[in-house]
Structure 1
């Protein structure tokens, strides 16, 4: 996922002017434009097959603009691990992602679900301004008062309306957190997931948890584990918040530590050429039927099934305030299959697979964890009203659909008929 592919031209941008120049060249010559940030696109939107690849990793500066307000400016090409480490001396942190090597721009534009989502919301909820280069090559600074429609679209629109070069965030006052994992006997997953779900519904908003059920692989035996992060360094409060998780089923391992927030982000790089099939659903209510349907996917090819706790601060923002509309999600259900280079391509299309039985319980999907980008996938990311508004913003700022190497929203002017 991290290679350049077969791009005819690669531009390593160091400034917004470099980005504008690349955009002018792509638009004037008609060649395809691919934007590469951290290189973690599950749908392989970070690799080019011909055309121009615009690599923005050189836009990686970071400045604390106002420590008292937590206002920080971050280059879109920085990684979240770098940002977390640089903010640590200031006692600040931004809830964003799980992986240190993921790029700031790519993750934020899709929403940004991180280890403190239930306390501080999505990464986009901390964004107060952005510098973006639009399809006309113009460098714009946007916020709630300047180009507000464009600012709305950037926060969740997945790169459809421009190339972001920097973002201004209001960081949370977080230095250390309490984190840990609880491993269970994998023998009765249905009861375990139900117990985790019931705990989530009464959970402290400072606590974010992920329950993962991992099959046996050449790398190790099957395992069932809850990973968690409590967004304050209060170990006693964290123990109280997680106590119910230890009463669900047979606990076989349990660890807890107070660590700098930066240490929560994993150092994880996907092996070169690794093939991934991934689906997810954002569900307003994690019902027993949804749980059963998700666990049934393990009956075919080896499958990781994970349940991510949401709610809390995610739901404190109105669904139409940003282009991420799934604010009422109680949980994310995710299924993943992987295969090394040369092996049969993994998928969820076998006769024994029924992802639709899971998806019907949700309102849609999170763009960051989708391996495909067809019309149905795009429709799952953006509900009709959100899609229509995005299409109108797209028509205003990218009428020629230059930025189409993404979960693409087709430009349609407001009020125009749609198919």
Structure 2
């Protein structure tokens, strides 16, 4: 049986009516020569062989939500994993779950809910499993559960030559190390075995407040999170509002105890200049990443994004972040609380080395502002950052690589990428030959 026979009906070209719904990512309208829709791991092998025979750039897509837009391309081949979406509890006692790379996190949360299990998985149900679970996984349970990659126990991977391997701590340990944080450059991950958390409901509070223009609101937020119960994870959006600046905080408490949740959230109400609105409720974990989030990605939200990690949110850093949100060409500034279980893992245990950082700051601009505009806004913020997270950046070049993977971690990542992908077909698609 030929490759084209096994892929019959699964190769989508511009003449196919399905093409319009498959060509793009969430942030970018793209025009690939073809999109291949494998349904099994064997199909992925065939798709990879076929794509390499065409000698076209290859992009791999799990969800298409990736901000970089590199899960599609112009004129190349896209291998879309959306049909590899199995979600199965392998061992309830060990909380071990098999999840296909093409599943969306909304489906994962809904499928695991009857078993009382959850996997910390980003903040939007439409995000694909593969992209998040190969780069880190900073989610709603991050300080209590850690990163998604910290709980991957095995991964099924199609290598650049079409070989299928199952990597874990004992089999292909170097490959397993790289998959957890730098997996996009080693091959096509088709499935993960992940140890889930025992969790049904969470507490959630949403607080909107006027923030201090000099950054003191942000330092009070960070100072509290440094000592807060690790069940508490927060995400904030800092936005200009006329002559004021507003901080919108979402707090998630991974505890079934309402009184404990109330005590954890209470200090957050006082970090701003004035509390404008607040809500609190208990909901199933699946309610944080609901199936209502699911949508087709057609380039509907063009944006430019960059991020940085901070060990400590100093007054100077907080002032720079706030200024970026309220300047003449403001950026949308987001903040994520890290620390807790994330920092329990040694820096060299996975390819995500940033294990002593406590804050992630993200800057985004929308058209007509562009990368140059974001660069001007971000310049003062960047002085305070130390490293970056691969999943929140539209800049993918050699400098960005070293921010994602610093020092010896980066050297080891490159060595493994080159060993498992000597022709650089995945590496070149990610970093445009910057790391050839």
Partner of 2:57: 32
CA distance in 2 between counterparts of 1:48 and 1:30 reads: 14
Which of 384, 401, 404 is the equivalent residue of 1:361? 384
CA distance in 1 between counterparts of 2:266 and 2:175 reads: 44
Identify if the C-alpha distance between structure 1 residues 47 and 209 changes in structure 2 by more than 3 Å, giving closer, same or farther: same
CA distance in 2 between counterparts of 1:114 and 1:161 reads: 24
Which of 238, 242, 245 is the equivalent residue of 2:261? 238
CA distance in 2 between counterparts of 1:284 and 1:137 reads: 40
Secondary structure of the structure 1 residue equivalent to 2:262: helix
Which of 407, 412, 431 is the equivalent residue of 1:384? 407
Identify if the C-alpha distance between structure 1 residues 179 and 189 changes in structure 2 by more than 3 Å, giving closer, same or farther: farther
Question: Which whole-Å deviations, capped at 9, do the CAs of 1:84-142 have from their partners, x for residues lacking one?
Answer: 01100000000110000000001111111000000110000110001000001011111
Does residue 262 of structure 1 match 2:286? yes
Does residue 332 of structure 1 match 2:357? no
Query: Residue 398 of structure 1 contacts residue 411 of structure 1 at CA under 8 Å; is this kept in 2?
Result: no
Query: Residue 387 of structure 1 contacts residue 409 of structure 1 at CA under 8 Å; is this kept in 2?
Result: no
Which of 301, 313, 316 is the equivalent residue of 1:286? 313
Which of 217, 239, 250 is the equivalent residue of 1:192? 217
Partner of 2:430: 406
Q: Which stretch of the first structure deviates more once superposed, 75-84 or 16-25?
A: 16-25
Does residue 129 of structure 1 match 2:157? no
Identify if the C-alpha distance between structure 1 residues 50 and 293 changes in structure 2 by more than 3 Å, giving closer, same or farther: same
Partner of 1:297: 324
Q: TM-score, normalised by structure 1?
A: 0.91
Partner of 1:274: 301
Query: Residue 394 of structure 1 contacts residue 410 of structure 1 at CA under 8 Å; is this kept in 2?
Result: no
**Equivalences for residues 167-246 of structure 1 within 5 A:** 167-186=192-211, 188=213, 190-216=215-241, 223-246=246-269
Question: Which whole-Å deviations, capped at 9, do the CAs of 1:187-235 have from their partners, x for residues lacking one?
Answer: 6462211211111111110000122112359xxx974211110012211
Identify if the C-alpha distance between structure 1 residues 15 and 279 changes in structure 2 by more than 3 Å, giving closer, same or farther: same
Partner of 1:163: 188
Partner of 2:9: none
Residues paired across the two proteins, number: 404
CA distance in 1 between counterparts of 2:173 and 2:40 reads: 24
Q: TM-score, normalised by structure 2?
A: 0.88
Query: Residue 87 of structure 1 contacts residue 93 of structure 1 at CA under 8 Å; is this kept in 2?
Result: yes
CA distance in 2 between counterparts of 1:409 and 1:112 reads: 26
Query: Residue 182 of structure 2 contacts residue 352 of structure 2 at CA under 8 Å; is this kept in 1?
Result: yes
Does residue 314 of structure 1 match 2:314? no
Alignment RMSD (CA, Å): 2.1
CA distance in 2 between counterparts of 1:21 and 1:271 reads: 26
Which segments of 5 or more consecutive residues in structure 2 lack a partner in the other structure? 1-24
Query: Residue 79 of structure 1 contacts residue 101 of structure 1 at CA under 8 Å; is this kept in 2?
Result: yes
